[in-house]
Amino acid sequence: DLATGSKGEIGTGVGLALCRQLVQVNDGRLNIEANPDGGTVFTVTLAVAEGVSASDAAD
């Protein structure tokens, strides 16, 4: 089933739940903050595997 958001956007509503599960499985952190000017800021923090530099992980 599709849902319509407050600004007319359409989706299934499972995106945040899926992100949360992926972050948890990878021992990460999902931070959610309301933006005073509107909208929301989502920050995902994941560990980099030992022996892998952050720049290598980005590739």
Chain segment 11-23, per-residue pLDDT in tens: 777 888 899 999 9
E strands in the chain:
3-4, 10-11, 29-34, 40-45
| Mean pLDDT for the stretch of residues 1-8 | 75
Tell me the whole-structure pTM to 2 decimals. Answer: 0.57
| Mean pLDDT for the stretch of residues 16-39 | 91
The answer to whether the CB of 21 falls within 8 A of the CB of 8 is no
- Strand, coil or helix: 4: strand
Note down the domain range covering 15. Answer: 3-58
The answer to whether the CB of 42 falls within 8 A of the CB of 31 is yes
Q: Give me the number of domains the chain comprises.
A: 1
pLDDT band (50, 70, 90) for residue 26: very high
